[in-house]
Structure 1
Amino acid sequence: MNKITKELFFEETFNVYQNLYNRVYLRQSPLAELLVPNTNPKLKAQNLHSLLLKSINDMRPSPGAPVTSNEWRQHRLLVLRYVDGLEPQAVADQLAISRRHFYRVHKEAVEIIAEVLWESYIARGDVSVADVPKRANVQGDDHLTSLRAEVEHLTGQKSNQRCRLQDVVESVIPLVRIMAHQKGVVLDVHLESESIYFGVDAVILRQILLGIINHLVTLLEGGKIFITIEPEADTYQLRIVGHGYRTQTVDLTKLTTVNELASINQIVLYLAEQTAHYAEFRLQAPTVSPRAVLVVDDNEEVAQLFKSYLNKNDYRCMIANSGEEAIQLAKTMQPYAITLDVMMPDIDGWAVLQMLHNNIETRHIPVIICTVIGAQELALALGAHALLEKPVTEQVLIATLEGLGYPAVT
């Protein structure tokens, strides 16, 4: 049986909860061997997953505990986050707390579970209690708290976290190419032609990739670093492989911040394989589809202009040249947003806006009125989210769409 310090045990408990629905990660986690030993290897991930969910259920306070108590808040937070699968901000909204408060309560709750699991581990005699290091690591805890606060500050300024994977990879390569050239390392990049979007912030993903590639470059003397994108079940995986003469093995302690950054942002990152001349990292994150915008305008030139704006900014465009067509497409395609011209034959934009707003199937779709008529108060009163006066520039249109604050279509 492998042994583990209490500090690493606690750290890995946080990691397995962050990857609760990633069976590959759970199967490879040291906790799978420590907490569910003597289990069929094919069932290790499932059994660890079940144990982690049971641990949340076991935290449920007694019936006499006040519903406003911290115990109930900790339990409810874990249920919303890991059983119901809500994102941190959604959990914070449900509990009426700030995102910063969410991370503090989350840390407290997972530490309680980690303590219980640790006690069950040492009760089997796998480690001496006298040898257990203290959990308190003020510097490490402060570092993680600061990192989470910085991530919260960055992501909190953006309504939708999404980035095109190919763009992020391509932005990283020039930064590491000079150092790679000095070490005689060739960067071999093969990316899918089809756009792939990860539901994470581009700046954060960029820092993670820089950290991994930079570490591999420092280990190699000559050789190659291969970067490829491969399909994996219903998502995609980024493979970063260092191949050649290595001066030393991968030192995961030097990637602690990179791993923490990945964990905080629901990115699965792990060292998949390591040999004398080979080291492979794999990265996986939730994927999102390009957001679809329905452009409603009887002027084909304006519609095509909007389409060019949208395509350049990673939106998918659908066009309706009449009010009737717009209502049908809105019902069937459920776009992220609708841009709506007012002066159209047959059914004008105001009538279309009312129909969309009064229909249960379409009332949730934000509508942006685009017109030469300045009637903002009327537009807002009828349910529009914004009014833009024509001619509409690319910058104004994209800024308005990004500011809607609605989730991307997945």
Structure 2
Amino acid sequence: MPTFEEFELSLRHVLIHFRDPAFHPPELLWSVLGYKPHQGVEAIQTAITQTIESLKPASANTASSLRNQRFYELLTCRYIQELTQEETADRLGITPRHVRREQQQAVHMLARLFWEKRPGHAPPSVEVLPDAGPEQETLAWRSQVREELAALQQSAPGSVVEVAAALRGVMKIGQALTSQHGITLQLEPAESGLTVAMHPSVLRQVLITAIEKLAQSMAAGQITLAVERIGNRVRLLITGTPAVTKRPPNSDLIQEILAAHGDSVEAYLEEDQVGFRIELPTVDKATVLVIDDNADLVHFYRRYTTGTRYQIVHLAEGQPVPETISKIDPDIIVLDVMLPDTDGWELLTDLREQLATHPIPIIVCSVIRRAELALSLGASLYLPKPVGRQQFIEALDQVLPLASVKG
């Protein structure tokens, strides 16, 4: 049976994605709030908004009503008005640190309200004071980590990192940590080109944390960083010898980060060796052929895809398309329908009729709002201009799996 703590953690995760129409709330949230997925995410958004509104007291002349007023204002700023923590601090006249502390308490109260009024339970009282014990602090910390990761994903969607480069990048910082313990840090030769879907700074933080945890388990010796390919996965090996601890190392931060990415970590202690085994799926580079005569817009596409798996190849006209496709074998085509030498709709039809190009996913991206026509002519997705970075990367991510059946 789900616990309140599990529900609260789910609610905190949902609030991070509160205004994202593509987000799918977990089953636990639907169950506790008393809705079904077919009612749409709007039902969840409405329920949360109404419950936040219920915190607003008619008057603020008692300690509990003053507290509810603060929580109401904070939750409204953060999740209804979508202000950052810094903007919320300015609005409420408090410090960002105070915002973070009270946000944890406010979300705890919100979760308690939903939990107590779930089907089959008595109506809740908003007078319930939030619990500030160690368990609550852990939940608050996990929520903060997830919020930071979500913010990074929003600011740099689709980020990838070459593993060998990340390993080289942590050596200087890692050596500063290990030298304090009389430990040497060794980097084994790593295969170049192994790339994983993770922001570079996140992977570096995982590696630095692993080195730090191992250094705390050793009195001297050596920590070795190595990487190996196992099929379509990468295994990172951070190993320390000799170990003086009697238990495997532990890092809640590494576990939380990897869980958020759907990846795994194993901490182990084997004889005098202690270490972490981290497995991450590899990602391959993908070539995107953009057919658009707007060079300025293509410049933005290149900026959007910097640091991602996607590589842009540009054509300003439609005539060279067949020859270019035969040369570069693109994984995805992004097509504008207003081209100087070719009608984009006809080009889309031709690409779908040709045996060689039929399997390539095509995104029609245009100011001409004809989504139904684009899809009926064989486009995999329609994307209206103008296009932002996150929207563009998400569109590429959505159709990329279709490219795997090309050959």
TM-score normalised over the length of structure 2: 0.50
TM-score normalised over the length of structure 1: 0.50
